[in-house]
Amino acid sequence: MNSTSTTNGMRAANGVTADIGDGERASKRRRRAGLVLTCLVTAFFLLDAAGKLAGAEVAISATVALGWPSSSVFFLGLLLLVGAVLHMLPRTTVLGAIYLTGYLGGAIAAHYRIGSPLFSHVLFGVYIAAIMWAGVFLRYPAVLSVIAAPTGKR
C-alpha cells in the first residue's frame, strides 16, 4: 500500500483517508429510513381508509363526532385511499404527500373546530404530516432543496 491510496478509498494530500463507499452507504441508509417512514405512514392511511370504506362503526362514530354527516364517511375514505395510493407509488410520492397534507389540514381544522384536546387530537395531523414529509425528504433530498432554498432572481 502506498501513501496515495488505501484499500477502502483515497488518501487526501493532508493524510486523511476518505472512504468512497461511506457516502453511498449513508445514502442507502437514508433512503431506507425514508422508505420505512413512508411505509408506516402509508399503512396508517390505508388502515384508516379501509375502516371508512368498510363502514366500521368506530370510523362512522368518530367522523360524526367531528361534525361530518355519516353519509360522508365512505367518500372521505375514498379520498384518503386516493392520497395513500399516490403517496406509496414512487413516481407520485411527492404529489401524494401534498394531497395528504391538505387532507390532514382538514382533519386538524375539524378537531380544532370542535375543541378537541390540542396535543393528542388537533396536532395529531401535524405529527403524521411531519413523519410523512421526513420520509419524502430522506428518500428524495432534492425535494427539500427545492422547498428550502428556491433559486431564481427577483
Model pLDDT for residues 28-87, shown as the tens digit of each residue: 999 999 999 999 999 999 999 999 999 999 999 999 999 999 999 999 999 999 999 999
pLDDT given for residue 23 in this prediction: 74
Classify 11 in phi/psi space as left (phi over 0), alpha (psi -120 to 50) or beta: beta
* Ranges of each domain in the chain: 23-137
Q: Where are the alpha helices (DSSP H) in the chain?
A: 20-54, 57-65, 73-88, 93-113, 124-139, 141-148
pLDDT given for residue 144 in this prediction: 87
Residue 20: how many other CB atoms lie within 10 Å: 9
This prediction has a pTM of 0.81
